[in-house]
Amino acid sequence: MKQLDTPYLNVKDVHLAMSTPEQIRQAAGAYAAAGIKLTAAGTIYFTEDNDDDMRRKFEYCKIAGIPLIIAGPTPQTLPRLERFVKEYDIRIAIHNHGPEDKYFPSPLDALKAVQNMDPRIGVCIDVGHAARAGTDVPHAIHLVGPRLYDVHMKDLANASSKESQVAVGDGALPIEKIFAALIATKYPGYVDLEYEINEDNPLPGMMKSFAYMHGVLAGMGYKA
């Protein structure tokens, strides 16, 4: 992250385990000591419609000081999830997972589910999964509007193929239009690079992705 020159992290539980309160506190403290700001946690799944499971996950975020949960709920668990959002005052952003997701393949499916719920429940647009679901991503950003709480950024050589991920800027997704839509809607949140390839040596592709995104923004008059 220091080589990428970013302090912002959407942490996954594999990197900050959902363990004892003291262990969570220590791990979160280690990130803070390294100058890393935990902006969100997830994807965290809420498939069990019971209080104990949900409370454990909200406590995890509360102890770690994480203000946003990237969530994978079901339509059945959403009402209970809304109750915990109100109790903990921690925001939820439903993550779309493409055609394989039977509940929220597109961010517009997530928007439809949450539009009449507490305003702290919103949407995380994964641009790759959204494109695979046939969604016009820039248009979806405009439609989701103030309910957009997080963006997972990636690129695909083939917009319909999950296995075709490439460095951002090397693929078929309309990256410039995506950033233009975020700027036009005054999106206040984070754009998280989700680079899921070349696991033995991911840094070159990640650096290339960041450089491309910074270049796009610079061309629009924004400094990194």
Task: Tell me the helices (H) and strands (E) count for the chain, helix number first.
Answer: 8, 9
**Among the listed residues 93, 131, 126, the one whose alpha carbon sits nearest the alpha carbon of residue 111:** 93
pLDDT tens digits for range 50-88: 999 999 999 999 999 999 999 999 999 999 999 999 999
Per-residue pLDDT at 224:
60
Per-residue pLDDT at 223:
75
Name the 3-class secondary structure at 160. Answer: coil
126 secondary structure, DSSP code = E
pLDDT tens digits for range 160-205: 999 999 999 999 999 999 999 999 999 999 999 999 999 999 999 9
Residue 94 has pLDDT above 90, yes or no: yes
Structural domains of the chain sorted by starting position, each given as residue range(s) with its CATH number in brackets: 8-212 (3.20.20.150)
